[in-house]
Structure 1
């Protein structure tokens, strides 16, 4: 028996109906029946499988001709598509059954042009299935099989088919479609494998595969502009976190280039007003996200520049840097087809050594963040708006490091503080974590400003009598810093006992301990000739140093981080009671 042309044509029509249901109709399914079209498609696939099995049973067992092979190939495709739908509808057990059926059926023929696309697709889908089951090693195993199959098939120089090629005669094969399908499927293999490797902790290889995925999407013109740009910008974050600034900037520039290309063509005359609004909303949203990624790159550049200037370079550090540069050069993670030099020229990829290097980076950061704030506003996206303002404040903090003029440094920190203060209009009931971050950072900022002015005061005191307003500014900054740190600490207190809550995670206890230490230090720094005020300040100093030591002793797992501070506190806790007694004695004597 040979399968007729009419039967193949009927199968083709049914398969086209399945594709239309999955790719088109499913997008309009009601929320009450989110998988309605998928279930309809599944019913058709099951019916087709049943008919194909009957046809196969009608063939003599000893008959090995094109009809049997053809039916097997088509059946393999149907199993693969059934498995994919089951995964989509979260029926993982049924999905696994179908996908394993496809793999078992087509295993002897996987290198044949007629079914390589089905087999490769099934390996991808079962890789996704094991990822959904949180079994990354098993997922990796299947995806690496897919990677090997693609490479072996490409080396064979065979031309792959699509399922539609199986429904027609040799003369009806659509040239190039099978190749496009294979390349698109393999691009997905790399994408899925990159995600799994990230989960498994192989971030270097994961990033490399992410870049290859983006490169292939460009090469085969198989991408959505906004998604591609966002993925490139996200990947840039890995590169700058690993001292690969050139590649990081390159991916950000590519993201901006693709978004610009999309902007010029995204609005079409035939679009309705609602469609135009939806497109603009997505574009503005993702443009703001890419601007934030640019700003993160700039902030990292300034922060890491500061770290490098503050630490002594040792031999190991230099060797690590050479290894990183070698990796970057060998990989050449670049998009050679894109003309993006103008976007790269907006900001350097070199670390800053002095103020003149840091200032252009700072200005670029502020420009990107101001653009991001056009989309993320306090009224519409309060949490994201707060993060942007915090980044703006961080940029001022970074720039202040490079300015050696005390007056200018204080002005930059003042701008930092003003930005942070503006966020305290947010209600702590709803935005407690943000308020905590702001209180802590403001405490640190005012403390830094106080230290700058106190150092200048000590120098001035040697030369001449400082004016009272200088002293007042120092004390005011002290009090502001104390208040912000106290607000931060109190946010962790039990409302009934007004004492620190129990079982606070260690990563949150660390800043609390730091705040205790800082408040103690700040009370000691307040300058006043009044003895009674001095007693009160020293008593508060002793109180917070004691709280620091008590909390530290009760949480040994974080004590390792505060060895130096603990040593200072232990010494001060011994000396401060004597100082208090001395001050009180002087008050009694009226001296």
Structure 2
């Protein structure tokens, strides 16, 4: 008789659950319908109350140590969880949080049991999402850390509410897939919470563990994995962790290259390759910029500050290379040897990195063409201009610097002309930026022209200094120290000194308003014209000053 009564109760629970599923499709918990007596009722809410009442009746007849008691407890927790999910879908966060906490309280002591483990993981997943939406990030983080730690120790047998009530047959492969997806989902939630709390290192570690989990379980799309991998490399770039950034970019490349070689008809492969190319370009630009700042600080700041800057930029790379906590297990990756894994210190390293990035620049332009993606194409051209600028910074020879700047100017001018003729609307959008870049390159070329002009004549200002000393010697001992004579002497010397300073500034500085026009003529007419102007200054200026002194 006892078995028959239990069988009847199980059938009643199954029928109530089927009715609940039907009502959940047609009704929402946040809505109510008026009745004849002006009372409000909700059919879905009534169905939840009915099935929970049936479960309570069944639970009262079970022994607490029996398997049936555990099954009925998990049924109750699962029904409350389903109700909380419906409330969450209606954006009712606070009621959903209350129900999820009630469900978790029922099964927290049985979280490692095979029939309860998966339900416990699902409840934690939704509860942490609701807590994060409500701003309780620290509480959500602690729940996820405990849940992820317990997930590695359990082997669930029940994977849904249907399994509890209807005893459905389970496919082992589907069950493993569900477990892996839920585990990865919890890890992604934890990584997001780390990011919101500003815990960058923990966020990077969890992101890497997610990729490792997907790699081990072969879950997910290969293209999505590669995209997540080079995006994680971009996060390492933001932390100036160059070895780990290079490692993850190379890992993504090792996954995408076989797909491209296999000629699989999937246009998303070309998109992923183009985005990977942009990530490599971003890596190169940031590495160049960080290296340039370190070299400048070496000459400006003190040794203590310099060592601190270098430690900040290269210390993380040393620690990561010694421990390798971010390397993938089971994936063979060969890092490129042509580019440095740390700060760039000489011209050879800069040229090697530039050559490597130029390959990725061409690959990015294969997809981001001027016809289909004009703005992205322009951004790639501006990135190439920046790369030329960094290479010129590392060049020591002035002629080579000028050649690099000339190539930079030609590329920008060609881009400007093409946009003006082919894409006028796009040219209007980027004309200010292009003009700014062109002016900057022209100023750099003028500066290099002046350096080439005056580098051999290091004593170009010596005649001016000699004339000043001669005048001071001539005036000093011959005149009496009368007040009016001293005033004339001081006026003459100040006038000479001011004009000589103007000449010096016009020769050495290309940014003064009075010297821009002369400098442009020097850059356009070549070294010969500059030499003629210098000779005129050297020949004529001292004579004019001597005549003025004689008048005094």
The TM-score normalised by the length of structure 1 is 0.63
1:83–1:442: structure 2 CA closer, same or farther, 3 Å change rule? Answer: farther
Out of 322, 325, 328, the position equivalent to 1:329 is: 322
Deviations along 1:182-209, whole A, 9 cap, x unmatched?
A: 4432322222221222222221221111
Aligned match of 1:446: 442
Aligned match of 2:244: 247
The Cα of 1:71 is off from its aligned counterpart by 3.7
- After superposition, residues 18-417 of structure 1 pair within 5 angstroms as 49=48, 52-59=51-58, 61=60, 63-64=62-63, 66-81=67-82, 83-84=84-85, 87=88, 90=91, 92=93, 95-96=96-97, 98-132=99-133, 135=135, 138-152=136-150, 154-155=152-153, 159=156, 161-163=158-160, 165-167=163-165, 181-263=178-260, 267=264, 279-280=266-267, 282-312=268-298, 314-317=306-309, 319-320=311-312, 321-322=314-315, 325-327=318-320, 329-330=322-323, 332-341=325-334, 344-345=336-337, 347-417=339-409
Q: Decide whether the 8 Å contact of 1:292 with 1:368 is kept in 2.
A: yes
Deviations along 1:54-95, whole A, 9 cap, x unmatched?
A: 421442635345445324323433544554565566554564
The Cα of 1:289 is off from its aligned counterpart by 0.5
SS at match of 1:2: helix
SS at match of 2:115: coil
- After superposition, residues 408-557 of structure 1 pair within 5 angstroms as 408-422=400-414, 424=416, 425=419, 434-459=430-455, 521-527=512-518
The Cα of 1:384 is off from its aligned counterpart by 2.0
The Cα of 1:367 is off from its aligned counterpart by 1.4
Structure 2, gaps ≥5 residues long: 32-41, 461-508, 522-543, 548-552
Deviations along 1:459-485, whole A, 9 cap, x unmatched?
A: 356799xxxxxxxxxxxxxxxxxxxxx
Distance 2:241 2:20 in 1: 48
Q: Decide whether the 8 Å contact of 1:420 with 1:442 is kept in 2.
A: yes
SS at match of 1:521: coil
Q: Decide whether the 8 Å contact of 1:110 with 1:116 is kept in 2.
A: yes
The Cα of 1:387 is off from its aligned counterpart by 1.7
Distance 2:380 2:414 in 1: 12
The Cα of 1:323 is off from its aligned counterpart by 5.6
Q: Decide whether the 8 Å contact of 1:147 with 1:186 is kept in 2.
A: no
SS at match of 2:331: coil
The Cα of 1:10 is off from its aligned counterpart by 7.1
The Cα of 1:293 is off from its aligned counterpart by 0.5
SS at match of 2:240: coil
Distance 2:519 2:332 in 1: 64
Deviations along 1:200-224, whole A, 9 cap, x unmatched?
A: 2221221111111111111111222
Aligned match of 1:273: none
Q: Decide whether the 8 Å contact of 2:278 with 2:361 is kept in 1.
A: yes
Decide which structure has the larger Cα Rg and report it: 2
Structure 1, gaps ≥5 residues long: 22-34, 268-275, 465-517, 531-582, 587-591
The Cα of 1:247 is off from its aligned counterpart by 1.2
1:14–1:392: structure 2 CA closer, same or farther, 3 Å change rule? Answer: farther
1:431–1:185: structure 2 CA closer, same or farther, 3 Å change rule? Answer: farther
Q: Decide whether the 8 Å contact of 1:144 with 1:193 is kept in 2.
A: no
The Cα of 1:176 is off from its aligned counterpart by 7.2
1:430–1:322: structure 2 CA closer, same or farther, 3 Å change rule? Answer: closer
Distance 1:108 1:162 in 2: 18
Distance 2:407 2:78 in 1: 63
Q: Decide whether the 8 Å contact of 1:120 with 1:146 is kept in 2.
A: no
1:85–1:378: structure 2 CA closer, same or farther, 3 Å change rule? Answer: farther
Deviations along 1:442-461, whole A, 9 cap, x unmatched?
A: 33222222111111122356
SS at match of 1:339: coil
1:358–1:56: structure 2 CA closer, same or farther, 3 Å change rule? Answer: same
Distance 1:439 1:18 in 2: 65
1:318–1:390: structure 2 CA closer, same or farther, 3 Å change rule? Answer: closer
Q: Decide whether the 8 Å contact of 1:376 with 1:384 is kept in 2.
A: yes
Distance 2:308 2:325 in 1: 24
Distance 2:187 2:444 in 1: 48
Q: Decide whether the 8 Å contact of 1:302 with 1:361 is kept in 2.
A: no
Distance 1:388 1:49 in 2: 58
Aligned length: 443
The TM-score normalised by the length of structure 2 is 0.67
Distance 1:226 1:212 in 2: 18
How big is the alpha-carbon RMSD for the aligned residues of Structure 1 and Structure 2? 4.3
